[in-house]
């Protein structure tokens, strides 16, 4: 077990769960996920801050309102089209559709509703508009390599 604590430019491996306010598990990762603390792939700011200074084996619980987490639900990110205009492979709930706006920016939309003759896609995150509770447990901490610091990407997380 390392004596290191969670700090900027260290590689942190965590397991986590995300729960709705009623306790329902929305997402869970029992396999460690590694990231560069303070890097480009930061966690949500409140989770990042709560983990700062933790050591291996420590856990934190953080409540995130929509504005601190997955954002408010934006009804302007839902679009409905005639089913006949949608290719067959996208005609199932949960199918991912990559769409671009007039500026060339891409966003992933999910098929959220299918009626007799229409299909609706939604560009909101599936947890948008929800207050969620993060439970994060620190598995391991190590110094980042020079390559990881330059790229912001964890390399060979299992080899260190």
Question: Each residue of 81-96: pLDDT tens digit?
Answer: 999 999 999 999 999 9
The answer to whether the beta carbons of residues 61 and 132 sit under 8 Å apart is: no
Instruction: Report the topology of domain 75-122.
Output: Thrombin, subunit H (2.40.10)
pTM above 0.95, yes or no: no
Instruction: Check if CATH label 3.30.70.520 holds for domain 10-70+129-159.
Output: no
Residue 120 pLDDT > 70 = yes
User: Residue 132 pairs with which residues in a beta bridge?
Assistant: 20, 64
Question: Each residue of 44-70: pLDDT tens digit?
Answer: 989 999 999 999 999 999 999 999 999
**Domain extents for the chain?**
10-70+129-159, 75-122
User: What span, in angstroms and rounded, lies between the C-alpha atoms of 104 and 122?
Assistant: 18
């Amino acid at each position: 077990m390392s004596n290191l604590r969670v700090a900027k430019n260290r590689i942190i491996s965590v397991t986590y769960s995300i729960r709705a306010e009623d306790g329902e598990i929305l997402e869970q990762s029992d396999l460690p996920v590694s990231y560069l603390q303070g890097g480009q792939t930061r966690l949500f700011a409140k989770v990042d801050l709560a983990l700062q200074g933790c050591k291996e084996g420590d856990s934190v619980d953080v409540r995130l309102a929509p504005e601190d987490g997955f954002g408010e639900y934006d009804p302007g990110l839902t679009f409905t089209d005639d089913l006949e205009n949608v290719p067959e492979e996208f005609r199932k709930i949960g199918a991912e559709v990559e769409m671009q706006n007039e500026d060339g920016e891409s966003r992933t939309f999910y098929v959220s509703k299918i009626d007799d003759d229409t299909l609706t896609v939604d560009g909101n995150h599936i947890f948008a508009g929800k207050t969620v509770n993060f439970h994060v447990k620190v598995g391991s901490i190590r110094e980042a390599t020079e390559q990881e610091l330059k790229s912001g990407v964890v390399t060979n997380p299992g080899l260190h």
